[in-house]
Amino acid sequence: MPLSFRPAAASETGPVREINEDAAYASGRLLVLADGVGGAAHGEVASSTTELVMRRIDQRQLEGGVLDVLAAAVLETRDVLETAARMGGGLDEMSTTLVAVLTDGAQIGLAHVGDSRAYLLGASGLQRLTRDHTWVQDLVDEGSITAEQAREHPYRSVVTRALDGKQHAEPDLAVVDAGPGDRLLVCSDGVSDYLDEDIIAAALAEGAVDTAAAALVARAIEAGTRDNVTAVVADVVDEPPEEPVPPVLVGAALDREH
Ligand code: CA
Protein backbone atom coordinates (compact mmCIF):
# COMPACT_ATOMS: atom_id res chain seq x y z
CA MET A 1 0.00 0.00 0.00
CA PRO A 2 1.72 3.20 -1.12
CA LEU A 3 1.36 5.85 1.56
CA SER A 4 1.61 9.55 0.77
CA PHE A 5 0.50 12.92 2.14
CA ARG A 6 -2.11 15.37 0.92
CA PRO A 7 -0.76 18.49 2.64
CA ALA A 8 -1.60 22.13 3.23
CA ALA A 9 0.12 24.80 5.30
CA ALA A 10 -0.68 28.19 6.77
CA SER A 11 1.61 30.70 8.43
CA GLU A 12 1.24 34.20 9.86
CA THR A 13 3.81 36.56 11.34
CA GLY A 14 1.26 37.28 14.07
CA PRO A 15 0.31 40.56 15.74
CA VAL A 16 3.52 41.11 17.75
CA ARG A 17 6.60 39.98 15.81
CA GLU A 18 8.02 42.05 12.95
CA ILE A 19 9.14 39.16 10.77
CA ASN A 20 8.16 35.56 10.28
CA GLU A 21 11.01 33.27 11.41
CA ASP A 22 8.99 30.09 10.86
CA ALA A 23 9.66 28.26 7.59
CA ALA A 24 7.64 25.32 6.34
CA TYR A 25 7.55 23.03 3.35
CA ALA A 26 5.13 20.27 2.49
CA SER A 27 4.88 17.77 -0.34
CA GLY A 28 3.41 14.36 -1.03
CA ARG A 29 6.12 12.65 1.02
CA LEU A 30 7.73 15.25 3.30
CA LEU A 31 6.43 17.73 5.87
CA VAL A 32 8.96 20.18 7.33
CA LEU A 33 8.69 22.94 9.89
CA ALA A 34 11.59 24.99 11.24
CA ASP A 35 11.14 27.76 13.81
CA GLY A 36 14.10 30.14 13.80
CA VAL A 37 15.33 31.45 17.14
CA GLY A 38 16.65 34.94 17.79
CA GLY A 39 15.59 38.10 15.96
CA ALA A 40 18.96 39.86 15.66
CA ALA A 41 20.61 36.47 15.28
CA HIS A 42 18.92 35.75 11.95
CA GLY A 43 16.50 33.07 13.08
CA GLU A 44 14.77 33.31 9.70
CA VAL A 45 18.07 32.40 7.98
CA ALA A 46 18.47 29.31 10.18
CA SER A 47 14.90 28.17 9.61
CA SER A 48 14.73 28.83 5.88
CA THR A 49 18.17 27.24 5.38
CA THR A 50 16.98 24.15 7.22
CA GLU A 51 13.79 24.01 5.17
CA LEU A 52 15.85 24.38 1.96
CA VAL A 53 18.22 21.52 2.86
CA MET A 54 15.27 19.30 3.69
CA ARG A 55 13.59 20.23 0.41
CA ARG A 56 16.74 19.16 -1.47
CA ILE A 57 16.42 15.76 0.20
CA ASP A 58 12.82 15.54 -1.01
CA GLN A 59 14.07 15.87 -4.60
CA ARG A 60 16.36 12.84 -4.29
CA GLN A 61 15.71 9.13 -4.53
CA LEU A 62 15.35 7.85 -0.98
CA GLU A 63 17.99 5.30 -0.07
CA GLY A 64 17.66 3.27 3.12
CA GLY A 65 14.81 3.45 5.59
CA VAL A 66 12.98 6.66 6.48
CA LEU A 67 14.84 7.06 9.78
CA ASP A 68 18.24 6.65 8.06
CA VAL A 69 17.25 9.30 5.52
CA LEU A 70 16.04 11.66 8.25
CA ALA A 71 19.17 11.17 10.40
CA ALA A 72 21.38 11.92 7.37
CA ALA A 73 19.23 14.95 6.53
CA VAL A 74 19.71 16.39 10.02
CA LEU A 75 23.50 15.88 9.74
CA GLU A 76 23.49 17.63 6.36
CA THR A 77 21.47 20.52 7.80
CA ARG A 78 23.91 20.90 10.70
CA ASP A 79 26.82 21.00 8.24
CA VAL A 80 25.21 23.76 6.19
CA LEU A 81 24.39 25.77 9.33
CA GLU A 82 27.97 25.33 10.56
CA THR A 83 29.32 26.65 7.27
CA ALA A 84 26.95 29.63 7.47
CA ALA A 85 27.90 30.30 11.11
CA ARG A 86 31.56 30.63 10.10
CA MET A 87 30.59 33.60 7.94
CA GLY A 88 29.99 35.55 11.19
CA GLY A 89 27.85 38.69 11.14
CA GLY A 90 25.54 37.25 13.79
CA LEU A 91 24.97 34.03 11.84
CA ASP A 92 26.98 32.19 14.51
CA GLU A 93 24.19 33.02 16.97
CA MET A 94 21.32 31.67 14.83
CA SER A 95 19.48 28.48 15.58
CA THR A 96 16.29 26.70 14.66
CA THR A 97 13.95 23.91 15.64
CA LEU A 98 13.07 21.18 13.17
CA VAL A 99 10.21 18.76 12.75
CA ALA A 100 10.35 16.59 9.63
CA VAL A 101 7.88 13.83 8.74
CA LEU A 102 8.87 11.64 5.80
CA THR A 103 7.22 8.71 4.06
CA ASP A 104 8.83 6.33 1.58
CA GLY A 105 5.45 4.84 0.72
CA ALA A 106 5.81 2.01 3.24
CA GLN A 107 6.69 3.74 6.52
CA ILE A 108 6.33 7.19 8.04
CA GLY A 109 9.30 8.55 10.00
CA LEU A 110 9.64 11.57 12.27
CA ALA A 111 12.71 13.64 13.19
CA HIS A 112 12.48 16.31 15.86
CA VAL A 113 14.75 18.87 17.53
CA GLY A 114 13.49 21.71 19.75
CA ASP A 115 10.03 22.86 20.79
CA SER A 116 8.01 22.60 17.59
CA ARG A 117 5.53 19.71 17.67
CA ALA A 118 3.91 16.94 15.68
CA TYR A 119 0.45 15.53 16.42
CA LEU A 120 -1.57 12.67 14.98
CA LEU A 121 -5.36 12.78 14.76
CA GLY A 122 -6.67 9.25 14.33
CA ALA A 123 -9.56 7.05 15.35
CA SER A 124 -8.49 7.25 19.01
CA GLY A 125 -8.27 11.03 19.04
CA LEU A 126 -5.33 13.43 19.23
CA GLN A 127 -1.91 12.05 20.05
CA ARG A 128 1.21 14.17 20.54
CA LEU A 129 4.16 12.59 18.72
CA THR A 130 6.99 14.79 20.02
CA ARG A 131 8.42 15.62 23.42
CA ASP A 132 9.59 19.25 23.66
CA HIS A 133 13.32 19.72 24.11
CA THR A 134 12.79 22.43 26.69
CA TRP A 135 13.77 23.08 30.25
CA VAL A 136 10.11 23.26 31.35
CA GLN A 137 9.36 19.88 29.70
CA ASP A 138 12.16 18.42 31.84
CA LEU A 139 10.44 19.94 34.90
CA VAL A 140 7.11 18.39 33.82
CA ASP A 141 8.75 14.98 33.35
CA GLU A 142 10.35 15.23 36.81
CA GLY A 143 6.92 16.02 38.24
CA SER A 144 8.06 19.46 39.49
CA ILE A 145 5.36 21.32 37.54
CA THR A 146 2.20 20.39 35.63
CA ALA A 147 1.74 20.64 31.85
CA GLU A 148 -0.66 23.54 32.47
CA GLN A 149 1.97 25.38 34.54
CA ALA A 150 4.52 24.73 31.80
CA ARG A 151 2.40 26.59 29.26
CA GLU A 152 2.40 29.71 31.47
CA HIS A 153 6.00 29.38 32.67
CA PRO A 154 8.20 32.47 32.10
CA TYR A 155 11.06 30.24 30.88
CA ARG A 156 8.91 28.04 28.62
CA SER A 157 10.82 29.18 25.51
CA VAL A 158 14.20 27.98 26.80
CA VAL A 159 15.09 25.10 24.48
CA THR A 160 17.63 22.47 25.49
CA ARG A 161 18.25 21.28 21.93
CA ALA A 162 18.29 23.25 18.66
CA LEU A 163 20.00 23.07 15.30
CA ASP A 164 22.76 25.64 14.97
CA GLY A 165 26.33 26.00 13.83
CA LYS A 166 27.81 25.01 17.18
CA GLN A 167 26.18 22.28 19.21
CA HIS A 168 25.78 18.86 17.66
CA ALA A 169 22.16 18.40 18.60
CA GLU A 170 20.86 14.90 17.96
CA PRO A 171 17.30 14.52 16.69
CA ASP A 172 14.68 12.31 18.27
CA LEU A 173 13.80 9.78 15.56
CA ALA A 174 10.68 7.62 15.53
CA VAL A 175 8.49 5.60 13.21
CA VAL A 176 4.95 6.99 13.22
CA ASP A 177 2.16 4.46 13.44
CA ALA A 178 -0.29 6.14 11.05
CA GLY A 179 -2.22 5.09 8.00
CA PRO A 180 -4.93 6.13 5.57
CA GLY A 181 -7.64 8.16 7.27
CA ASP A 182 -5.24 9.66 9.80
CA ARG A 183 -4.33 13.36 9.80
CA LEU A 184 -0.95 14.79 10.80
CA LEU A 185 -0.19 18.23 12.22
CA VAL A 186 3.24 19.82 12.46
CA CYS A 187 3.19 23.21 14.18
CA SER A 188 5.34 25.89 15.76
CA ASP A 189 5.06 26.83 19.43
CA GLY A 190 3.12 29.93 18.32
CA VAL A 191 0.24 27.44 17.93
CA SER A 192 0.86 24.87 20.65
CA ASP A 193 1.74 27.34 23.43
CA TYR A 194 -1.58 29.13 23.02
CA LEU A 195 -4.15 26.39 22.36
CA ASP A 196 -5.41 23.56 24.59
CA GLU A 197 -5.19 20.12 23.03
CA ASP A 198 -8.99 19.85 22.74
CA ILE A 199 -9.01 23.07 20.69
CA ILE A 200 -6.14 21.78 18.55
CA ALA A 201 -8.06 18.53 17.97
CA ALA A 202 -11.26 20.37 17.00
CA ALA A 203 -9.51 22.79 14.62
CA LEU A 204 -7.46 19.96 13.09
CA ALA A 205 -10.66 18.05 12.32
CA GLU A 206 -12.25 21.05 10.55
CA GLY A 207 -12.92 20.19 6.89
CA ALA A 208 -10.18 19.77 4.30
CA VAL A 209 -6.48 20.13 5.17
CA ASP A 210 -6.28 23.77 4.01
CA THR A 211 -9.33 24.68 6.10
CA ALA A 212 -7.82 22.97 9.16
CA ALA A 213 -4.42 24.67 8.74
CA ALA A 214 -6.09 28.08 8.41
CA ALA A 215 -8.33 27.33 11.43
CA LEU A 216 -5.34 26.46 13.65
CA VAL A 217 -3.53 29.68 12.73
CA ALA A 218 -6.71 31.74 13.23
CA ARG A 219 -7.42 30.15 16.67
CA ALA A 220 -3.87 30.86 17.86
CA ILE A 221 -4.14 34.52 16.80
CA GLU A 222 -7.56 34.80 18.50
CA ALA A 223 -5.99 33.27 21.61
CA GLY A 224 -3.48 36.14 21.70
CA THR A 225 -0.35 34.48 20.36
CA ARG A 226 2.74 36.66 20.65
CA ASP A 227 4.77 34.51 18.26
CA ASN A 228 4.87 33.49 14.60
CA VAL A 229 2.14 30.95 13.90
CA THR A 230 2.57 28.04 11.50
CA ALA A 231 0.56 24.86 10.91
CA VAL A 232 1.26 22.12 8.37
CA VAL A 233 -1.65 19.67 8.07
CA ALA A 234 -1.61 16.50 5.98
CA ASP A 235 -3.98 13.64 5.35
CA VAL A 236 -2.32 10.25 5.07
CA VAL A 237 -3.66 8.53 1.93
CA ASP A 238 -3.03 5.18 0.29
CA GLU A 239 -2.11 6.60 -3.08
CA PRO A 240 1.25 7.38 -4.66
CA PRO A 241 2.38 11.02 -4.21
CA GLU A 242 0.97 13.38 -6.82
CA GLU A 243 3.42 13.94 -9.68
CA PRO A 244 4.70 16.51 -10.11
CA VAL A 245 4.42 17.07 -6.38
CA PRO A 246 3.05 20.57 -5.80
CA PRO A 247 5.09 21.79 -2.83
CA VAL A 248 3.59 24.16 -0.30
CA LEU A 249 5.89 26.88 1.07
CA VAL A 250 5.03 29.28 3.87
CA GLY A 251 6.68 31.77 6.22
CA ALA A 252 10.38 32.56 5.80
CA ALA A 253 10.58 29.78 3.17
CA LEU A 254 8.10 31.66 0.98
CA ASP A 255 9.68 35.09 1.67
CA ARG A 256 13.02 33.78 0.42
CA GLU A 257 11.45 32.77 -2.91
CA HIS A 258 10.32 36.35 -3.67
CA1 CA B 1 8.27 30.24 17.81
For residue 62, what pLDDT is reported? 87
Per-residue pLDDT band at 243 (split at 50, 70, 90): low
- pTM for the full predicted model: 0.94
CA of 106 to the centre of ligand 1 (A): 32
Q: From the CA of 1, how far away is ligand 1's center (Å)?
A: 36
Query: What would the pLDDT profile of 7-37 be if each residue is shown by its tens digit?
Result: 999 999 999 998 899 999 999 999 999 999 8
Nearest to 92 by CA among 155, 53, 41, 57: 41
Q: What pLDDT, on a 0 to 100 scale, did the predictor assign at position 1?
A: 62
CB distance 121 to 204 below 8 Å: yes
Cα(225) to centroid of ligand 1, in Å? 10
How many domains, in total, are found in the chain? Answer: 1
Q: What's the CA-to-centroid distance between 190 and ligand 1, angstroms?
A: 5
* Position with higher pLDDT, 168 vs 214: 214
pLDDT of residue 167: 81
Checking if the pLDDT of 181 tops 90, the result is yes
* Cα 228 to averaged position of ligand 1 atoms, centre (Å): 6
Ion ligand 1, residues whose Cβ is below 5 A away: 35, 188-190, 227
3-state SS string over 10-24?
EEECCCCCCCCCEEE
pLDDT band at 246 (very low <50, low <70, confident <90, very high): low
The answer to whether residues 250 and 11 touch, using CB atoms and an 8 Å cutoff, is yes
- Expressed in angstroms and rounded, the spacing between residue 191 Cα and the centre of ligand 1 is 8
Cis peptide bond prior to 244, omega within 30° of 0? yes
CA 139 to chain centre: 23
Q: What is the structure's pLDDT at 240? A: 82
Tell me the CA–centroid distance for residue 20 and ligand 1, in Å: 9
- Domain around 229: 4-257
Question: How far is the centre of ligand 1, averaged over its atoms, from the C-alpha of 199 (Å)?
Answer: 19
Per-residue pLDDT band for 156 (boundaries 50, 70, 90) equals confident
Question: What pLDDT is stored for residue 258 in this prediction?
Answer: 64
Query: pLDDT tens digits, residue range 120-154?
Result: 999 999 999 999 999 999 999 999 999 889 888 99
Closest by CA to 11, choosing from 156, 157, 186, is 186
Q: What is the DSSP string of 57-113?
A: HHTSPP-S-HHHHHHHHHHHHHHHHHHHHTT-TTGGG-EE-EEEEEE-SS-EEEEEE
- Backbone φ and ψ of 36, nearest 5°: -70, 140
* Residue type at 170 in one-letter notation: E
- List, for residues 52-97, the tens digit of each pLDDT value: 898 888 888 888 899 999 999 999 999 999 998 888 888 888 899 9
Tell me the percentage of the chain whose pLDDT exceeds 90.
68
74: CATH: 3.60.40.10
Rounded to the nearest angstrom, the distance between the alpha carbon of 22 and the centre of ligand 1 is 7
Q: C-alpha angle with apex 53: 108 to 22, nearest 5 degrees? A: 85
